[in-house]
Structure 1
Amino acid sequence: MKSLQKEIRLKARKRGFHIITNELLSQFPEIKKIKIGVLYVFIKHTSAGLAINENADPTVREDFKSHFDKMVPENQPYYEHTTEGPDDMPAHIKASLTGTSVQVPITNGMLSLGTWQGIYLCEHRNDGGSRKLVLTAFGE
C-alpha cells in the first residue's frame, strides 16, 4: 500500500463556503499514483472547516453562509472569548459544526466525487487568511 502526504496552503478567502477541489488537486498531483484508495483532507485551523456538497449552483454556497450566520450570530452577550473580534467565537462554533476533515475515495488516480459534489473550504472568519491543509492519500 502506498501512503502519500503533503501539507498545502490555500489562498486567503473571505467568509463563506468556497469550492477548493481543483486547488487541492493542483497542489497534490501525486494522487494520480493511487489506483484505488482514499484521500483524507484535514484543516489545521479552529475557525474554518471542510465539507463536501453542491459544486454547480453558487446559490447553495450563499444559502449555507446565510444560514450559518443566522444560526450562529456574532456579538452574543454570553460569548466570553471576544478578544479576537466579533467573528472569532462564532467561527469556532461554526468550525465545530462543519468539521475538520473530509474523506473521498480515489479511483484510477482521480477523486470519486459525485457529479454535483465538490470539496468546500468553510471559511468562518471575515478575513481568515491563508489556510493550511494536510492531504493524505492511501491506496494501491
Structure 2
Amino acid sequence: MWYQQTLTLGPKIRGFHLVTDEILGQIRGLSGVKVGLLHLLLQHTFSFPDAQRKLRSHRPL
C-alpha cells in the first residue's frame, strides 16, 4: 500500500530550520502507521532535508 500527499511549509528566512514537527503535523493518518518509509521531494527550493535525526526520536528502530 502506498500513500501520496502534498505538504506546504511556511516561508523561512535563510538558515537552518527544524521542520520535522511541521511535516508530521500535516501528514494525515500517521498515527495508524507502524512501519513505513517516507520520501520527501522538495519542489522549487534550494533546501536540503535533514529530518532523519529527529524522526529517529519519534519512532523506535
Give the deviation of 1:53 after TM superposition.
6.6
TM-score relative to the length of structure 1: 0.36
Does the residue aligned with 2:11 lie in a helix, a strand or coil? Answer: coil
Does the residue aligned with 1:43 lie in a helix, a strand or coil? Answer: coil
Structure 1 unaligned spans of 5+: 56-110, 116-140
Give 1:66's aligned residue. none
Give 2:47's aligned residue. 48
Once the two structures are superposed, the pairs formed by residues 44-83 of structure 1 within 5 Å of their partners are 44-52=43-51
**Residues 38 and 54 of structure 1, relative CA distance in 2, 3 Å threshold:** closer
Give the deviation of 1:11 after TM superposition.
0.4
In 1, the alpha carbon distance for the partners of 2:20 and 2:51 equals 10
| Structure 1 segments of 4+ aligned residues over 2 angstroms from their partners | 52-55
**1:15-53 superposed Cα distances (whole Å, 9 cap, x missing partner):** 011001110011103222222111111211242221247
In 1, the alpha carbon distance for the partners of 2:37 and 2:19 equals 17
**1:40-95 superposed Cα distances (whole Å, 9 cap, x missing partner):** 1121124222124766xxxxxxxxxxxxxxxxxxxxxxxxxxxxxxxxxxxxxxxx
Alignment RMSD: 2.3
Q: Which has the higher contact order (CA 8 A, sep 6+)?
A: 1
**Residues 54 and 25 of structure 1, relative CA distance in 2, 3 Å threshold:** closer
Asked if residue 37 in structure 1 is aligned to residue 29 in structure 2, the reply is no
**Residues 34 and 20 of structure 1, relative CA distance in 2, 3 Å threshold:** same
Structure 2 unaligned spans of 5+: none
Amino acid paired to 1:6? Q
How many residues were matched structurally? 58
